[in-house]
Amino acid sequence: MITIALINQKGGVGKTTSAVEIASRFAKAGKKTLSIDADPQANMTYIYGINPDKEGQHTLKDVFSRTVSLEDAVIKTAEGVDLVPNNILMSNADRMFIGVNSMQLLKNALKDVSSLYDICIIDSPPTLGIINWNVLIASDYVIVPVNANALSIQGLRALSETINEVKESANPELKILGLLVTRYNPRTRLSKEAIPDLEMISSKFLNTKVFESKIRQSVAIEDAQANRNSTVKGKKSPISKDYDALFEEILKEI
């Protein structure tokens, strides 16, 4: 099983949307696909139409607590993707899961299902705490979604330090597939001027590249998520084509 995490400590950069879109394409390609919602905000869980509180469904918190196995927390979705949901109770993870091997909880849990899936896509929280350490240690590859603006760029150096620390101490094989530019508007000077800065940072601090595919700014994402759908459903949209192109780039790298 190949594990890919989408991570950035800054929110609002399209992590969840991108995770859902990528997972959907792997599933449509015939791959047995597992998605893990590691963000206590549970946006991925919401998009898939799951309410774990109402349904009494086990969540990632139960997996981290070793109350249930990861396999027992899985929900089948209409997208053909298996999901481990999350909820707000996981927001106290930094206090709840302190101790020996607390950084290896997700990695150890995934071992039990590694033979059941071809691919695992992880949506991560906008923090650099214990959850994201677990995510990075458990992953083979990382994709860093980032908006094409100065504020989004500023946080990349801190993220690079965390990723490099994880590589040095716990997961030396971790590879960053690339920076994914989201909410891109080629007609604005801001978007155009941000690309050279992103290319410099990706090369200097993250030892990676900026994906050729850029996800254009679009209301299609907001509309789809409001209806608890991913943008792959229904009529093809420009943003869906952007994710198709990104998917082809990913396939060439893994």
Q: What is the pLDDT of residues 14-53, one digit of tens each?
A: 899 999 999 999 999 999 999 999 999 999 999 999 987 7
By C-alpha distance, which of 21, 211, 217 is closest to 123?
21
Q: How far does CA 50 lie from the centroid of its chain?
A: 18
| Structure confidence at residue 222 as a pLDDT band (50, 70, 90) | low
Q: Select the more confidently predicted residue: 89 or 1.
A: 1
Domain containing 127 equals: 2-253
Q: What's the CA gap between 236 and 254, in Å, rounded?
A: 26
Taking alpha carbons only, the member of 79, 162, 176, 157 closest to residue 125 is 162
Q: How confident is the model at residue 229 (pLDDT cuts 50, 70, 90)?
A: low
pLDDT of residue 100: 55
Edge to edge, what strands does the sheet with 141-147 contain?
75-76, 82-84, 33-37, 119-123, 2-6, 141-147, 175-182
Domains held by the chain: number: 1
Length of the chain: 254
The CATH number linked to 232 is 3.40.50.300
Check whether 235 has a pLDDT greater than 70. Answer: no
Residue-level pLDDT at 193: 81
Are the C-beta atoms of residues 114 and 71 closer than 8 Å to each other?
no
pLDDT (0 to 100) of residue 38: 96
What whole-number distance in Å separates Cα of residue 144 and Cα of residue 55? 32
* pLDDT value for 226: 56
Most confident of 19-23, 155-159, 226-230: 19-23
Nearest to 87 by CA among 113, 55, 109: 55
Residue 150 pLDDT grade (very low, low, confident, very high; cuts 50, 70, 90): confident
DSSP class per residue in the chain: -EEEEE--SSSSSSHHHHHHHHHHHHHHTT--EEEEE--TT-HHHHHTT--HHHHT---HHHHHTTSS-TGGG-EE-TTS-EEE---GGGGGHHHHT-STTGGGHHHHHHHTTTTT-SEEEEE--SS-SHHHHHHHHH-SEEEEEEESSHHHHHTHHHHHHHHHHHHHHT-TT-EEEEEEEESB-TTSHHHHHHHHHHHHHHHHTSS--B-S---B--HHHHHHHHTT--TTSSS--HHHHHHHHHHHHHHHH-
Please give the Cα distance from 208 to 196 (Å, whole number): 14
Of the pLDDT bands very low, low, confident and very high (cuts 50, 70, 90), residue 75 is: very high
Average pLDDT for residues 151-180, to the nearest whole number? 91
